């Protein structure tokens, strides 16, 4: 079967620049790779250990989130920075995957994008710590804070900065090569 890469945006905003960037990365996938966009972060209940458990015990949205991750060979996460942190909806989704372990050894590319000069690097750092704790496999070249996002992404979602788009292509290569044969 073809390799499946799951895109997860940390922004629920309809016109999100992170979701656009993610779609742009999705369009760079090599032939034989299926890129899927996750859409369910807002459907997940607030994480509580009291609600956590195996497939028979958890909420249906949690079951779907875990199944989507298990069906994927790799992930790309693109997130905004909210008040110097990871948006709550994304962190909540990740917390739902701690006990069940879907990110263990999952090749995962991690990006933040922001209109500001540092590209949301504090959120990127925090997100990286979370994923490392969950034993995700983050390739060396597959992590990037993208600054001035509003200037480098066109309305059609294409990345207009050639240095950035070339780094994104390197990132896609590093990610797909990290998937075991
Ligand atoms: C922001 N923004 C922001 N940007 C940043 O670089 N560091 C930050 O700490 C914050 N904090 C923050 C809090 C809240 C509540 C909002 C709504 C926004 C600005 C943010 O980067 C900008 O809105 C992006 O466009 C959000 O990403 P999406 O939705 O375009 O993907």
ipTM of the complex: 0.99
- Structure pTM? 0.97
* 24 closest CA partner among 171, 141, 164, 158: 158
Q: Is 143 in the pocket of ligand 1 (CB under 6 A)?
A: no
The pLDDT of residue 157 is 85
Task: Spell out the domain ranges in the chain.
Answer: 3-177
Secondary structure (H, E, C), 126-152 = HHHHHHHHCCCECCCCCEEEECCHHHH
Q: Is 31 in the pocket of ligand 1 (CB under 6 A)?
A: no
Instruction: Give the Cα separation of 151 and 19 in Å (integer).
Output: 15
Q: Whose CA is nearest to atom 14 of ligand 1?
A: 82
CA 20–ligand 1 middle distance (angstroms): 15
Instruction: Give the Cα separation of 89 and 69 in Å (integer).
Output: 16
**CATH number of the 3-177 domain:** 3.40.50.360
Q: Convert the pLDDT of each residue in 15-73 to its tens digit.
A: 999 999 999 999 999 999 999 999 999 999 999 999 999 989 999 999 999 999 999 99
């Amino acid at each position: 079967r073809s390799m499946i890469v799951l895109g997860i945006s940390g922004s629920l905003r309809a016109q999100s620049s992170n979701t656009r960037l993610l779609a742009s990365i999705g369009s760079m996938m090599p032939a034989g790779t299926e890129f899927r966009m996750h859409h369910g972060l807002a459907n997940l209940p607030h994480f509580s250990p009291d609600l956590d458990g195996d497939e028979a015990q958890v909420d249906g949205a949690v079951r779907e989130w875990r199944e989507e991750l298990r069906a994927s060979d790799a992930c790309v996460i693109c997130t905004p920075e909210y008040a110097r942190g990871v948006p709550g909806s994304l962190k909540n989704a990740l917390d739902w995957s701690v006990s069940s372990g879907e990110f263990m050894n999952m090749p995962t590319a991690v990006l933040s994008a922001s209109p500001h000069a540092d590209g949301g690097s504090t959120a990127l750092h925090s997100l990286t710590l979370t994923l490392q704790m969950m034993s995700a496999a983050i390739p060396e070249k597959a992590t990037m804070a993208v600054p001035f996002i509003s200037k480098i992404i066109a309305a059609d979602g294409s990345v207009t900065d050639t240095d950035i788009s070339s780094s994104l292509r390197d990132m896609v290569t590093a990610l797909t090569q990290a998937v075991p044969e």
